[in-house]
Amino acid sequence: MTSPVWHPFTQHGLNEPIPHVVRAQGATLHLADGSTLIDAISSWWVTTHGHCHPRIAAAIAQQAGQLDQLIFAAYTHEPAEEVARGLIAIAPRAEGQPELKHVFYSDSGSTAVEVALKMALGYWHNLALDGLAESRSRILVLEHSYHGDTIGAMSIGERGVYNAAWQPLLFDVGTIPFPASGQEQACLDALEAACADKPAAFIVEPLLLGAGGMLLYSPVLLRDMAAICRKHGVLFIADEVMTGWGRTGTLFACEQAGIVPDIMAVAKGITGGAIPLAATLATAPIFDAHLSTDRARLFYHSSSYTANAIACAAAAANLAIWREEDVLGRIAQLADGIATRLGTLATHPAFANARQLSTIAAIDLIAADAGYLSDLAPRLRAFFLERGLLLRPLGNTIYLMPPYCLDADQLDRLFAALAEAGDIFGMQP
């Protein structure tokens, strides 16, 4: 029987197989046919400690029998309060920079980014109402960025075939060139010039652009970009949806640059990947610009499931894991294992541009049909599926972003398959 399910990023007309997963544990997915897959991309970058982590699963079960859902407009509950306190406690800090003080909940990375944009524009709008500043509305973005698939998030992301159908709905932005090797100063000069025109905010994926091709840039550049924004009074927004929760080797990527953004979006690993939840953190000036006795000045954003109690309980359990266990130690060990194997793979003649940031690794397959819409990526996905691996290449870029529980044997299987893929699909010299 044909399934009525419409899957994301899936062209059903190609009739590609859709594996049926029945359970998961750690880094392993168990399929209905009895086979298994190594989840090498954390099920779209969300699973941090491993699937069905017992502490998180127990917290979800306990909360489900106590309080499942509550309207969050003018009501609260302890899981949300606990998580907000926990997020503020671990948020990036730097001497002389305002601290992130306030937490606004939502339910996905895309909506966390939408909230960040609305906070930024609301900030300038309200300052203008008070005669404290001119109103600002222009958003600056980094070339090749991806921030989600809702309208605002698409507007500030790279334009292309994946959002062409909705071009009439997207608002105009200022694009700063990506600081590729040798082009770092051009990026900073462009940002300096754009900030002089008094935009509202600049949003970045700190240190690593994910869907744009796993593109890396240095903490020094991130620090310099934030400094330019501070100099011109431009709000600096960090999209830590993917880079947060240890992916880059620190809890949040901004820590490596010694910066505190004015607004920071987090999601994905906030619950360990078990259940949807997101949060947007803001400094006191952002919150205070909306603080008033006038109800017309409140922050107009919500969703029905804002701060869902079950999701918050999962996030509280995740925060406890970070407090009580050596997660960063596990991350460092996994990163070392990846580095050793990636170094060997980089000598394969069919690969180029091997790169790594902690537990995230990527390498480009040299192939004739390397475009995003070529059939290379689907053929690679099928190849890896046959070998018991969940990998989802971005065109000819094959990347790994595994859960932190991945073991050495699983790493060996992954890299053996990558080398085999190079033998079969790569252009040989």
Q: pLDDT tens digits for 125-145?
A: 999 999 999 999 999 999 999
Q: Among candidates 71, 117, 30, 49, which has minimal Cα distance to 271?
A: 49
Task: Measure the CA–CA gap between 28 and 143, rounded to whole angstroms.
Answer: 35
**Angle at alpha carbon of residue 393, lines to 391 and 399, rounded to 5°:** 75
User: What pairs with residue 390 in β-bridges?
Assistant: 39
Sign of the torsion angle spanned by Cα atoms 382, 383, 389, 390:
negative
Sign of the torsion angle spanned by Cα atoms 76, 81, 83, 85:
positive
Tokens encoding 428? 């040989």
CA distances from 186 to 172, 206, 214 (A): 22, 18, 20
pLDDT at site 104: 98
pLDDT at site 374: 82
Long-range contacts of the stretch 23-27 (C-beta < 8 A, 24+): 23/52, 24/51, 24/52, 25/50, 25/51, 25/52, 26/50, 26/51, 26/403, 26/405, 27/51, 27/402, 27/403, 27/405, 27/406, 27/407, 27/410
Task: Measure the CA–CA gap between 137 and 350, rounded to whole angstroms.
Answer: 46
The three-state secondary structure class of 88 is helix
Q: Among candidates 21, 40, 39, 41, which has minimal Cα distance to 31?
A: 21
> Is 21:29 a contact under the CB 8 Å cutoff?
yes
Task: Measure the CA–CA gap between 21 and 33, rounded to whole angstroms.
Answer: 9
Which residue type is seen at 335? A
Neighbours of 405 (CB within 10 A): 18
pLDDT at site 428: 63
Q: pLDDT tens digits for 164-193?
A: 999 999 999 999 999 999 999 999 999 999
Q: Going residue by residue through the chain (429 aa), what tens digit of pLDDT does each one get?
A: 689 999 999 999 989 999 999 999 999 999 999 999 999 999 999 999 999 999 999 999 999 999 999 999 999 999 999 999 999 999 999 999 999 999 999 999 999 999 999 999 999 999 999 999 999 999 999 999 999 999 999 999 999 888 999 999 999 999 999 999 999 999 999 999 999 999 999 999 999 999 999 999 999 999 999 999 999 999 999 999 999 999 999 999 999 999 999 999 999 999 999 999 999 999 999 999 999 999 989 999 999 999 999 999 999 999 999 999 999 999 999 999 999 999 999 999 999 999 999 999 999 999 878 777 789 999 999 999 999 999 999 999 999 999 999 999 999 999 999 999 999 999 865
Q: What is the DSSP letter of 297?
A: G
Task: Measure the CA–CA gap between 273 and 45, rounded to whole angstroms.
Answer: 8
* Burial profile 124-150: b = 16 or more Cβ within 10 angstroms, e = fewer: bbbbeeeeebeebebbbbbbbbbbbbe
Q: Give the pairing of strands 235-239 and 208-209.
A: unpaired
Tokens encoding 65? 């029998």
Q: Lay out the sheet containing 351-357: strands in order across.
A: 351-357, 360-365, 397-400
Which helix or strand (DSSP H or E) is residue 145 part of? none
pLDDT at site 170: 93
